[in-house]
Every structure is written in C-alpha cells, then in structure tokens.
Amino acid sequence: MEKNTSAKILLLEDDPGLIDGLSYALSRNGFHIDVASSVSEAFQRLNNSVYHLLILDITLPDGTGYEVCEKVRKSGSRVPILFLTALDEEVNIIRGLDGGGDDYMVKPFRLGELCSRIRALLRRSDGAPEISTVLRSGPVTADLASGTVSLNGKILELTPAEYRLLCLFLRHPGQLLTREAILDALWDGNGSFVDNNTLSVYIRRLREKIEPVPSSPEYLLTVRGFGYRWKEESK
C-alpha cells in the first residue's frame, strides 16, 4: 500500500448517490473518508478533525465550496483542496483556483483519474521541504524557505498552484517549457489529468499578478504552438 493511501479525506457533497459511490470507491482505494453534506457541517468537521485533503463540491444547500476553501486558506492551512463539481465554466475554475484550490475536476469524471489526482496532491504535500534558497529574476523574488513571492519588494498573494507554477519557471529561465512538461511537473501525471483550459487560467492569472501589462507580457512569454518561456534576465 502506498504511504498516502491511509490519508484522511473530507468529502463535501450533497448528492446521496455520489456520496455513497465515492465513499465506497475511495475507501476501497485505502483512503479514510468523512462526509459533510452542507457548508455548516463541513466547518464542524474541520473544527473537530485534521484532514490530509479536502474534496469540495461548489453548490451546497447553505452556501458554496468556495466559502469553505477561502476560510481554510485564511486560517493559514495549506491542506490540498480539490474542487469536484458540475460547474465547468472558466469563471468557476478561476474563482476556485484564486480562492486557494489546488485542482479542479468536472463531473462526470473517471474514478481512476480522481484517485491519481488525489495521490499526486498528497505526494506533494507529504514531500520534503524545499531547500532553503531564493530564486530571483528581474523584479520577482521567490523565497523557497518561507514559500513567499515578492514583486519589487511587495509580497504577492498567490494560490498554491500559482506559486508552484512560478517557481517552475524561475528554476528554468530562458528554457521552453511545453504545456505537457508543465502539467507533468505540477500535477505528477500525464497531461490528460488537467485540461489545457485550466493551465491557461493559471497562466493568465499569474500574468495579472506579475506583469506590468498582462496582455503584453515581459516575463512569462508564450511560444505559440509549443508552450511558455520565462524571459531570462540580461546579464
């Protein structure tokens, strides 16, 4: 059994049929599952238990999964959060990721893909701390010891996924990174586990936070037909 398969997961979902199916399937895969069918119940469980990962539906009887995600992040927790929802419009993806979500899956989904994403998120959260060092490029500085990024000395508010994406580019300045390579590096699987639309959202939101003119990027450049490249600072 993999070391992450004993992880304790909170499932926030109000569809009884899906609750039964997911609880059974994830338990068979070695995960311990607690279920909340409302936002208020989710907060109660979070107050009384520690979880290794959260799976959040968005539309609930008394609120949204966004509220749960945002409150968890405001508390300082970096527990992996996966949104699992029927809402597939870009605006929903953006809100989920901006609120601190690490991944986003749309119903209907394949159980094998869900388990693979869960294990990838758990592997990253269980991994050894990054080496205490600093990555710099132009006005951008990433302090790997504290997990913070600053632009011209001002701390940026980045989601966990945006932070990982930026650090990936800063570690490979001047190199072409294909979309497939980025997906592999960030999500620990092949590119089919995260669609291109989600990656495009990450790229655009990161540009909005670091570029003087996001529509005409100076640092995070698009290499049409291939992927992206972080412009290497001139010596």
| pLDDT tens, residue by residue, 27-65 | 888 899 999 999 999 998 888 788 899 999 999 999 999
pTM across the whole model? 0.59
For residues 220 and 42, give the distance between their C-alpha atoms in angstroms, rounded to a whole number: 38
**178-222 pLDDT tens trace:** 888 888 776 644 444 456 778 888 999 999 999 999 999 999 999
**Predicted pLDDT of residue 235:** 43
Mean pLDDT of 60-72: 93
- Count of residues making up the chain: 235
Q: Is the peptide bond before 108 cis (omega within 30 degrees of 0)?
A: yes
- The residue type of 2 is E
For residues 131 and 228, give the distance between their C-alpha atoms in angstroms, rounded to a whole number: 25
For residues 82 and 97, give the distance between their C-alpha atoms in angstroms, rounded to a whole number: 10
Strand order in the sheet with 8-12: 32-36, 8-12, 53-56, 81-85, 103-106
